[in-house]
Structure 1
């Protein structure tokens, strides 16, 4: 290798030297290696080594290791590349999947396949097996145990109180899990929620359980229950209206002060 003399590097602190070594033999003959030497004589072979040694003393974000010069255009290219990477990452859609933690059992039976083309004589046939809901794991509601909602401060929100008519059935451990099971049935179910109508389910839910209904005893919503709920909603809306009206004068006066 042919070594050139060490020269000062003005882009680095005083006392730093740069040396370029040209390869004389081998497949890489003619190419050169660049090294930097600290005032104490320590040798650095790459920009990461240099950055680790200097730390925050020198900003090497636009430093070109081969030429030994600060190149603002290089910094601008890095910023554009990082901005492009951030935009690509933000393009991903948020996960809004509200699927419940239910184990779905895949069908093991052979299903017919219909080839569909644009020929006018062909008819599109729907497979009833594919339209039917997949069977669920028995007592899957137990997976909802321990799940709770939290506010922005990570404080667990207080669970709603269930009406006295709703009573758990089977291995449902508490009212909180039962509430989640009923809410899940309202969210994903397509049939009215009535609970387990069959009295045999109370004796042996593993055999007589209606999987389309939550694990609770049969209950009946009366007209009085509906009236009480409507009155409760009316009171909450009234409180919200009063809170909004109470906030309007303060907002208006603040606006006048800003003017």
Structure 2
């Protein structure tokens, strides 16, 4: 089974790019974040044409939004309000093989790494804390993918020293994500197949005039698996060339393969 995950930064603005990914990679399941579209205007027909007839959407106008598009049947859909304010940041399903698949878009957290001065930063930390409480009670094989908006390792950013006080790589965020990972002994699939300290970025800012020259990347997008699935993991790739496509997302897709 091949699962792709991509923060697309508006699915309607980049429908052609998603279609190119589908044609090139033929994933069985595609998880999208930051779709920025209500369910009623989501480009469902394009996915149907390519065989993704099973769809679970959690959309929001102009902001956030997540979707699971699948060629395989999807059961028992669910949504967690880890943001605690109704924002569309999660959708989950059960696959027929028994694995639970969760797709999440963690808040970015604003620019100031202080919950007193910047409420968005506090909301991000609280979001991850609610995910941690959920993980502690998890008792079924699960894969969770998405934009976690945290680069946890020193080698997950272009400069650990320069980004220590930049939201996405601050010690408090890294500690929060570490607690989340430890709450279920999650396997970081990306680092299972691209071991640290190897370069492994998934996001480059639009502010950079030439992202390839500066290469100021961060690993904000992740795929994690329950320990019970360790022996079933077969591969993981970061599709970095997609960042060079016309009018690209600032994130690139991830793909993992798992035996079922």
Shorter-chain TM-score: what band? under 0.3
Larger gyration radius, structure 1 or structure 2: 1
Q: Would you tell me which structure has more helix in proportion to its own residues? A: 1
Greater per-residue strand proportion: 2
TM-score for the superposition, normalised by structure 2: 0.19
Q: Which of structures 1 and 2 has the larger relative contact order (alpha carbons within 8 angstroms, sep 6+)?
A: 2
